[in-house]
Amino acid sequence: MTKVDLYNINGEKEGDITLPKEIFDVKINSDLIYQVVKTEMSNRRQGSAHSKDRGDVSGGGKKPWRQKGTGRARHGSNRSPIWVGGGVTFGPRKERNYKKKINKKARRKALLMVLSGKKDSKMVFPVSDFKINTIKTKIVDTFIKKVSLQGSTLILLPEMDKKAILSTRNIENIDTIQAKDINPLILLSYKNIVIPKESLKIIKDTFVK
- Render pLDDT for 85-101 as a digit per residue (tens, 0 to 9): 999 999 988 888 888 88
pTM, two decimals, is 0.80
Q: Could you tell me which of 110, 111, 96, 104 has the C-alpha nearest to residue 182?
A: 111
pLDDT, average across residues 42-62 = 87
Domain positions in the chain: 2-45+99-207, 47-97
Q: DSSP 3-state assignment of 62?
A: coil
pLDDT, average across residues 64-80 = 93
- Packing angle of the helix pair 197-207, 104-120 (nearest 10 deg): 150
- % of residues, the chain, pLDDT over 90: 83
Tell me: the pLDDT tens digits for 160-204?
999 999 999 999 999 999 999 999 999 999 999 999 999 999 999
Q: What share of the chain is helix, strand, coil (3-state, %, to 5)?
A: 35, 15, 50
pLDDT at 59: 84
pLDDT at 2: 74
Q: Could you tell me which of 197, 191, 198 has the C-alpha nearest to residue 173?
A: 191
- % of residues, the chain, pLDDT over 70: 100
pLDDT, average across residues 62-84 = 93
Amino acid at 53: D
Over 70: is that where the pLDDT of 1 sits?
no
- Containing 119, the helix (H) or strand (E) segment is helix 104-120
Measured distance CA(115)–CA(201) in Å, rounded: 14
CATH 3.40.1370.10 for domain 2-45+99-207, yes or no, is: yes
| Band of pLDDT at residue 48, cut at 50, 70 and 90 | confident
CB atoms within 10 A of CB 192: 21
